[in-house]
Every structure is written in structure tokens, then in C-alpha cells.
Amino acid sequence: MSSACLPRAATLETRARPVVPRRARAEAPRSAAPRRGARAMASRVVCAASAPVPIMVNDLTGKMGRAVADAVVARGADQCFLVPVALSGQAKDPVDVGGVRVEIRSVLDGDAGATLEELKSAYPGMIVVDYTLPAAVNANADLYVKHGTPFVMGTTGGDREKLFADVERSKLPAVVAPQMGKQVVAFQAAMRLMAENFPGAFAGYTLSVTESHQSSKVDTSGTAKAIVQSFNDLGCGFDIADVELVRDEPTQLGKMRVPEEHLLGHAYHTYKLKSPDGTVGFEFQHNVCGRSIYAEGTVDAALFLAQRVERPGDKTLFDMIDVLKEGGMVTN
């Protein structure tokens, strides 16, 4: 993630300034022609919105935000297009994303709320994607809620209980999930179903967990925590503090066999179970290189959310399980 973020000051009303020329309101920004690569061949979300969805990515100067912006453009203008303005903690030079020139505006130099209002007017049906920093999660959600801007929150951290409570109370459509890789989410869901249907199935078994991420990630993965919880419900009794966190490059290259080109962006998880007498073993593993799986899932979450905005129901706070149930399984 980028060091740039939307600080709490973003929610304060200061001075407004125009964001998008009025003449741009009637037309979508130029986007790159659909690519013929693997992502361009990805299956579409089953129930897409009736018109191309404008997607604003905050902060697309970060690695994950940029991956999402690339995925938006690659998906094709028939499904969605990239809004040519992004919010960041600091103003930066414009960024070219597949032919779309995106202006990076600082929330400290103007009124972030006025920016959202202007963009909502210019691009009806706009969905915001948030990949900033954990410290900005709650302030950003407050900003989106205050200005009625549906959003997908991929940023982890913050006060999650407050986040869920505030968003649910507002009735603003939103997808909030710390894990956007839909295939990984499907694995989590399968483990949860197994735990619910067969509690204690692994009672007495010893669990060991190893997870490797880029060195900048200092905490235990939220995905690992969720999987461990399922194993504990299956009877393992594992302490999350005992997860082996691999963050040094020699171990990643040697023991974990992470490709060198992906040392700065990967997620390798291994869960090993051993029976009390040592005669039976199970191993679950998922290895992710790069960010495309998360970026594609995020775009599908935005398209899913756009559909829910068009056809609202009683439920307004969603997670990636809801996106999975919609049938939008994208394969890279």
C-alpha cells in the first residue's frame, strides 16, 4: 500500500474547488481497448449493471490501488471505466493507466467531500474503491457515508467493529472485506462450512501454520486468522500467536520457494495437521504471487455493488461471500 492515505482531516469541510470540467459530464474518460490477455478473457459477473460503471480508485498510486486501476481498464469499457480523478494524502503528478490520465488530488488542499459530490454529478453511479492505509479506514468510511458514495473497502485495519456498525447504520451500499481474492475467499468459506457441519472432526490433531508475505507486512494475515478459527472449531486448539511469520528473503526463496520477482508481493500459506499418533497428516496450501487475484475480485465487487445500488434491498453491507454467491467467479 502507498504511504499516501486519506487522513482524518479529509472529513473536515474546507474550501471546494472544481474537479471535473462540466463538459466531461456527458462523456466517459478514454479507456484502453480491451486487452486480449488472460484478464480480458475473464468471465463477467453474472448480473452486471445496466450501464458501464464509473470506478474511482483511492489511492491508485499505491501498489494495490494501481493493480485495481489496471484491472478496471483491462475489464473493458462495456463493463466499467476508470474515473480520471483519485484522492490521495498528497497531490502527485497525473498517472497514466492504460490510456486514462488520472489526476491525483490531495485531500489536504481542498474539500474531499466537494470532490466526491462533483464526481458523483459528473459520473452518475460512481463506485469508490478504497486501498489506502489502515489508519485512514474509519475516516474514509465516514467520508463516503456522509456523501452517500457507495464504496468497496479493501483496506485492512482500523476499528472494524465501528466500521461495520457505521456503514450498516447508514444503509449505504458497501462491500467491506479484508480479502478480495475470490478463490481464497471460497476456500475460507469451504473451511467455515466444514467447521459448522463437522465440529471436532480434527480433535486432538496438532496444527502448524506458516505464512509468508512481503517484508512490509508485519502482522499476521487476516486470512490465516480466519482459517485458524475454522480449524479450532474443528478441534485443533491452535494459538494464533504461534503462526510462523516468514518475512526474510532467504527463507522465502529457500524454504517457501517464492519466485524472486514476487518477493515484494505474494501470499504463501501452509496449514499442516498431524494426528495424535503421528500416522495421519493433512496439508492445506494456497500460494498467491502478485496482486491480480485481489484486483480482479475488487473490480467484481464494484460491479456487484453497482447492481445492488440499481436494485436495492434490505441488505446494504456486503462481503466477498455475497459476491461469490452472485456467481461472479473470475478466473485469471
Residues with a known catalytic role: 213, 217
Question: CA–CA separation, 174 vs 151, rounded Å?
Answer: 5
Q: Is omega for the bond preceding 59 within 30 degrees of 0, making it cis? A: yes
Place of cell 469508490: 128
Distance separating alpha carbons of residues 168 and 272, to the nearest angstrom: 37
How long is the chain? 332
DSSP state of 244: E
Q: Which long-range contacts (CB under 8 A, 24 or more apart) does 165-169 make?
A: 166/138, 166/141, 166/142, 167/141, 167/316, 167/317, 168/316, 168/317
> CB count, 10 Å around CB of 81?
22
C-alpha cell at 265: 508481493
281-289/266-274 β-pairing:
antiparallel
